[in-house]
Structure formats: C-alpha cells, structure tokens
Amino acid sequence: MAQPILDTVSGASTGTLLVTEPLNFWAGKRVEPREGKNAEPVFEPATGRVLCQLAPCGAEEVEEAIQSAHSAYVKWSKMSGMERARVMLEAARIIRERREKIAKLEVINNGKCITEALVDVDVACETMEFYAGMAGTLTGQHIQLPGGAFAYSRREPLGVCVGIGAFNYPFQISVTKSAPALACGNAMVFKPSPMTPLTAVIMAEIYKEAGVPDGLFCVVQGGAETGSLLCQHPKVAKVSFTGSVPTGKKVMEMSAKGVKQVTLELGGKSPLIIFKDCDLENAVRGALMANFLTQGQVCCNGTRVFVQREIMPQFLDEVVKRTKAIAVGDPLLDSTRMGALISKPQLDKALGFVTQAKKEGAKVLCGGEPLVPSEPKLKGGYFMSPCVLENCRDDMTCVKQEIFGPVMSVLPFDAEDEVIQRANDTTYGLASGVFTRDISRAHRVAERLEAGTCFINNYNNIAVEMPFGGYKMSGFGRENGQVTIEYYSQLKTVVVELGDVENHF
C-alpha cells in the first residue's frame, strides 16, 4: 500500500520530486480534496520550489474522517491488548523495512539533513514497539471491601482522539501521538502541519497494511480552520497538540467548550548551564546538540547557554570553531550536518532576531546570515549559517523569545544561586541542562530548575521510555514513557455486592 510515493522518492534527488497524489486518508484509502480553490503551495525548503498543492479539509471532510475513525474505534476497542500489539508490531516492521525511503521523503518535505531524518524514523519505530509492548499490560485493580463486597477498576479507551502535529518532526510525531492512542484502544484523526503534509499519509498506509480496521488512523490536511473543526467536533474525546504557545491556547479554549482532554507540547526557551568544573569538550558538544539539530527548530533546545565566567573564553573559542565547521547544504547528502529552515518566513524571522540582537548590544561571533550554497539547484533554498551570540543579557529579545532557528545565545554567570534564578526567569519550562563534574551540584540544580526535563552532562538525549512534556507555558500532559497511557485512557470503577443491600429507609 505504501509503495507509490516511496518508490518515486527512492530515485529522487533534491529538487526533482513532484507530488500529485491526494494526501488525505480515511476509510482505508487516500481521499481527494472536495475543492481545490483554497489550495496553497507546499515548498521544498532546500530549493524553494513547489512540491505540491495542499487543499484544506472542510467541515464535510472532517465529518467523514471522524465518522470513519469512530467506526474503526468500535472494532479496535473490542480487541485484546495482545491482538492490538501484534498489529502494531507489524506496523513497526514495515517502518523499519522502508526506513531509508521514509527518511528521504521527510528530508525533501522538511529540509533537515538525512542523518537526522534516519534517526527520526528509527525513533518512530522504537515508539511503535514500545507501546505495542504496553498494549497487553493495561490492567485495573482489585479492591476488597467490607462484608465480602469488592470493587475493580477497568482502564478503558477514550474514543476518537485528535493529533495535531508540527513541522519539525512530521513522521515521528504522527507515531508519538498515535502509538499510545492505539495501544489503549482509541482511534486517531491526525492533522499534520500544512508545511509538511507528505509523510503522515505514509504512516496511515502502513497502519492499513499492518491490519488495523479501516479508519483507525485518518489523516486530514489543512491549517487553523481545519484544526478548529477537529477540536470542536462532539465525537472527539481528546486533542493532543504540538506547536506554539498562542496556538496551544486556542486549542485549549476550543477543546474546553466540549470538556475534552488536552495534551499540549508547546514552545521553550530552555537554559543550559555550564559550570567551570565541567568536562569542557562534552559541554561544547552538548551546546551544539542543544542548539543546532533540525536547523535549531526544536522546541526543547537549550538556546540560553549560561557559561561560568572563568571558562567563558575557552568555551567560546571552541564552540565558535565547531559551529563554523558545520556543513550546511544539500540535506540529502550524507556529509551535510545542517539543512534548510522550513520556510522563507521562518528564515526571515530567525535572521531578524540576529539583527535585533546586534541592535541591543549582542556580538555575532559567527553566522547569522543567509547562506547560498554553491549548487545552482539550492539557490532558492532557505539556508542560514549557524550563529553564536555573545555579550547577551537576560533582557534581550534573543534571550527571552523562542527563535526556532540556529541561533545560540551565550551568557556569563558567576554563582549557582544566581544562575538558577536567571534560568527560571521565563514563562517557559520545557527543558533544561547542566554540565558539571560535581554530582551533588548536578542533582541539586536539576531539582531547582523549573522544567519538565533536565539533562545532566548531555542534551537532547531523548528516548521513548522517558516521559516528555513541559512546565508553565510550555504545556501540560506527557508524551513518551509509560505515563502517557494515562493520557489516552480513562478509569471505570465497578462495585460488586455479594450479599444483601443494607437499607437505611
């Protein structure tokens, strides 16, 4: 089922793919949009050329998809956990079998380098396997009551869940949201970012080929209007959203009208604290990993890099040298380490932050400019040279606001208490990091940082086994880990009386 586009992409190079197949999927098949009049172009970030036209789903199409998902949910929810697990493991096998082709399509649509995209597909596969393993373990509790009565609890699915994805990890997010949902017995209607619509439908076809009931994982394309229709539909039980804080607030508001459960994975401006007793080589590596993956378009990136003053010169020398050496260019080449930003507006926004930083007194040590690769086909791409800023202050725009581009802001600090207060002085709380050889300090700092994740002597080392989510305005609920089962299921308590009813009347 998943072969046509993937076979096309297998021989494609940057700047050659053109997609004409429909990108919606429900009732077990791809579905043509009702109308194409509101279609908008989807661009290939590395070249700036049009990949396809995307027509948003309207009310009738959303209704069809949700009805299809509900019908599949009725069948799927009656299957045992082990039966669901076998289907999910088959889906994982197919993902692994088509790893290179899926990653290549992701690169063409998203702009990240192929080495990262391959890891993303591997993570998606591991996520599917992890939740397949959990599907057969979902159990309740037995509670003995006085007089021979007892109670038990049942962990039951919610129904039709909606997943709304982001452009930075399109394929991986489709699995991160759907795998725990399906493991619990739910169905999912998934709306990818309108900038990266290509790989979610591949996941839908893989699920079908693996043996899920038709409609269990549907894909509807569109922007804000389509998302609103999904959030407000009465048959939707839960919405899981990944994206910006302003959009997350709107999702929460719309979902609240129907008292729907919501998981929000929103933005961040995470601190990375580097103490003078650190292993400097690892700290530099950590800072690069914290800032430049996926062209800096990662919500949990540690973009506020606090460096203890005594080691600031050595740190800057080394991090600037390594940043200048990052190979930026054709994302399908194995040698490339940074591809193109997702869009021209996102590129302009990131460059604008650098311009503003200079006006506010920051010093650009490297990068921060539009980059035009030497290959002619890449001339129209959205490339930017990775940037390191020094002389930064806590009140600067580049330090306070999420840039979502390859820009590292470096700030000096003197003492532990001081840097923790500064690190926590933000409305965000998605992630944080600390580099130190002092084990007591490491755990002490981790406890005091107001963030959903704290990395010690590493950064962005994320695995499916670990819960992931934010504090404060970075959202709530969790993805990954065993705990996510609680966000895609509900508990029913059943009370059983074995004797006579005691009557007080």
How buried is residue 321: exposed, middle or buried, by Cβ count under 10 Å (0-12/13-18/19+)?
A: exposed
Q: How many CA atoms lie within 13 A of 282 on its CB side?
A: 17
Q: Which of 265, 390, 402, 479 is catalytic?
A: 265
Q: Is 21 considered catalytic here?
A: no
- Strands (DSSP E) contained in 32-141 are 40-43, 50-54
Nearest residue to 363 (alpha-carbon basis) of 412, 436, 329, 422: 412
CB 436 within 8 A of CB 454: no
Q: Distance between CA 482 and CA 502 in Å, rounded?
A: 41
Q: Which of 113, 161, 218, 299 is catalytic?
A: 299
Q: Distance between CA 495 and CA 479 in Å, rounded?
A: 32
Residue 56 DSSP one-character state: P
Residues 6+ apart with CB under 8 A from 321: none
Q: Distance between CA 128 and CA 91 in Å, rounded?
A: 8
Positive/negative CA dihedral, 122, 111, 52, 12? negative
Residue 420 to residues 46, 230, 304, 457: CA-CA distances in angstroms?
Answer: 39, 40, 12, 16
Amino acid at 317: D
CB 384 within 8 A of CB 370: yes
Q: Is 392 considered catalytic here?
A: no
Beta bridge partners of 190: 163, 219
Residue 184 DSSP one-character state: T
CB 332 within 8 A of CB 115: no
First-to-final CA distance of the chain: 65
* Residues labelled catalytic: 265, 299
